[in-house]
Amino acid sequence: MASPKSFLWTRRVILTLLLLFVLTPVYVMLSSSLKKLQDVQGSFRWIPSGITFRPYIDIWKTVPLAHYFMNSLIVSVSATLLSVAVAIFAAYGVSRYRFAGRRFFTVTVLSTQMFPGILFLLPLFLIFVNIGNTTGIQLYGSRLGLIITYLTFSLPFSIWMLVGYFDSIPRDLDEAAKVDGCGPFGALFRVVVPAAIPGIVAVCVYAFMTAWGEVLFASVMTNDSTRTLAVGLRGYATQNDVYWNQVMAASLVVSVPVVAGFLLLQRYLVAGLTAGAVK
Amino acid sequence: MTATAPPRSTPEAGPSSGKSAGRGRLRPRVPDRLRRIGLPYLLLFPALILELLIHLIPMVVGVVISFKGLTQFFIRDWGSAPWTGLGNYRLAVKFNQPVGEALLHSFWVTVFFTILSVGFSWLIGTAAAILMQDTFRGRAVLRAIFLVPYALPVYAAVITWTFMFQQDTGLVNHVLHDQLHLTSDKPFWLIGPNSFWALVIVSVWKSWPFAFLCLMAGLQNIPRELYEAAAMDGAGVWQQIRKITMPSLRPVNQVLVLVLFLWTFNDFNTPYVMFGQSAPHAADLISIHIYQSSFITWNFGSGSAMSVLLLLFLLLVTAIYLLFTSRKGEPDA
């Protein structure tokens, strides 16, 4: 469309303001992570008086960051893989078959999306503590316990998105595979899953990101050895001092993998949203 | 969604035979037919087991403990906690007593916070998506940058904001006081009444890219011909936005606003990273409030009752919203 001047100017002004709004914290994170401690302890300065990479070395010593990193990685990857694997089967069933209870299942899954995390936190905490007391299986404080709790939000979302995505794949494709002698599982893995790769990638990205950034369950359900990054970053605040330069350096380090992964895969996420949520 | 796969050999069975998919053709072997009917349940089995473990059982437990006087003395064996009936609920809704008064206060704080955060996130997301619908130089880069707040882990992003909101060393006061001289002194942002606005700003910063992402996806589905036809009829850009873009986005918006509302209302991560275990009075969001009454004062029974009340409220709002939007949507369909 031929855009009039008013439109172009509105666009320029609004997009510039938005760019500043979005990037200011990113700039603060980056610039402060390169400042000396006395610099971040004084009044804020846009331009650092001197650049030091010291914070990037110190962050690994002030708190066991590598250990937290490992914990976050194990928990997030496991929760993602588990929920997506389970969701693929469930979504295929819901998308391709009509059976008694189908509607009940989808409505239930959808509605759990809206439940506040705090609703599940208390009972899961008590259940884990009780299982530990009666059977000796320590779920409370363990990585497995955290993985299970993360399924409370990643599983419903994965099922919901994948049903939408599978629905958008022509049924004729897997019917044809069945004519060619594939069983239902053959049709699922040879035809539907390959065709749904963008959707599956989108769901993986989403599930991983939410698990990586989760704070509530991580604060309650972990102990010293299973602590994730979400809780571990608090370690840079001591009784007397907050090592803000180290906090910013650590924030940047834990953000880089997810942001990079997200930006690489974002077109899949848009495709997945188009097929799944936005229908 | 409506038509099921018609049985291959008998097209006359028709796509409308909803539940009888697979039974249209008489199979000679019973196990085969049984397998066909059982198959969906087999596919759903892992999900059903997990749903049972992570949602159903915890919910039942949650409702049961909301009727109990469950304090720290009974954590090891919560079954033995005394039954209090509706006691926890009665306490929660006695709005002239301290517990009820605090709950009502945090409910209203959450309502205002949610309206502001969702409203601004939606507004900014819509504006950005529409302004970036056409291709221009730098569009792809800009789009990637706009998605950064969405991609950043909540704690990393929110910690940065708390640093910016620090009273003496933060960027916000440096700009407001030192550079623009808008304030006579450096106000506190993380305690006192300002904390509410700090929370809203961080929340909007974090959530608008999701609205932007969804709305951009929605915009891709609008056929270009509609705009071309409108342009032929002499409609300007602003008119096209009002007459074509906005109505076309309505289905996306209906889902988006509901999802944003629920996420924001239930948000725990943002206030927790900003304020810690107890938020300032002005920014005491309901999820932090429940967390505090459960894990700081160790009254799980009371916390559960509040959680159940919160859930009932959200169910009610969602039901009303869905009724309202689906009825409104009908004439167009």
**CA distances (Å), origin A52, targets A39, A48, A49, A155, A267:** 11, 10, 10, 43, 36
Residues of A in contact with B237 (CB under 8 A): 1, 3-4, 7
Q: How far is B193 from chain A (nearest CA, A)?
A: 23
B78 touches A124 (CB < 8 A) = no
Interface test with A, best of B171, B216, B302 (most A CBs within 10 A): B171
Band of residue B14 on the pLDDT scale cut at 50, 70, 90: very low
Contact B159 A155 (CB under 8 A): no
Closest to B295 (Cα-Cα) out of B267, B262, B272: B272
Segment 51-80 of chain A within 8 Å of chain B by CB: none
Distance in angstroms (rounded) separating the CA atoms of residues B109 and B147: 28
Indicate the pTM of the whole model: 0.87
The count of residues in chain A is 279
Pairwise CB contact (< 8 Å): B221 & A278: yes
* Of B99, B97, B110, residue with least CA distance to B306: B99
Q: Residue B123 carries which side chain, given as an amino acid letter?
A: L
B312 contacts chain A (CB < 8 A):
no
How far apart CA A73 and CA A87 sit, in angstroms, is 21
* Residues B125-179: tens digit of each pLDDT: 999 999 998 888 889 899 999 999 999 999 999 999 999 999 888 999 999 988 8
Tracing tokens 């599930």 back to the chain, one arrives at: A207
pLDDT of residue B3: 41
Chain A 110-169, residues with CB within 8 Å of chain B CB atoms: 111-124, 126-127, 129-130, 133, 148-149, 151-152, 155-156, 159, 167
| DSSP per-residue string spanning B150-184 | HHS-HHHHHHHHHHHT-TTT-HHHIIIIIIS--SS
A202 near A278, Cβ under 8 Å?
no
Among A29, A76, A65, smallest CA distance to A218 is for: A76
Q: How near does any CA of chain B get to the CA of A53, in Å? A: 18
Digit-by-digit pLDDT tens for chain A (279 residues) are: 457 788 889 899 999 999 999 999 999 999 999 999 888 888 888 988 888 999 999 999 989 999 999 999 999 999 999 999 999 999 999 998 888 888 888 888 888 877 888 888 889 988 898 888 888 888 888 999 999 999 998 999 899 889 988 888 888 888 888 888 888 888 888 888 988 888 899 899 889 999 999 999 998 889 888 999 999 888 888 777 889 999 999 999 999 989 988 888 887 877 666 665 544
Chain B residues within an 8 Å CB radius of A159? 47
Closest residue in chain B to residue A270, using alpha carbons only: B217
pLDDT in tens, B47-80: 999 999 999 999 999 999 899 888 777 777 777 7
> Pseudo-torsion of CA A257, A261, A264, A270, nearest 10°?
-140
Q: How many CA atoms lie within 13 A of B230 on its CB side?
A: 18
pLDDT exceeds 50 at position B5: no
For position A208, what pLDDT does the model report? 93
* Chain B residue with Cα closest to A23: B145
Residue B61 CA to residue A123 CA, distance in Å, equals: 6
Rounded (10°) angle between helices B57-66 and B300-329: 120
Does B274 score more than 90 pLDDT?
yes
Of B61, B255, B308, the CB nearest to A127: B61
pLDDT given for residue B307 in this prediction: 93
Q: Which of residues 38-67 of B touch A (CB under 8 A)?
A: 39-44, 46-48, 50-51, 53-55, 57-59, 61-62, 65
The least confident of A173-187, B17-31, B211-225, B310-324 is B17-31
Instruction: Provide the residue type at B273 as one letter.
Output: V
Distance in angstroms (rounded) separating the CA atoms of residues A150 and A220: 13
Which range of B162-166, B238-242, B274-278 scores highest in mean pLDDT? It is B162-166
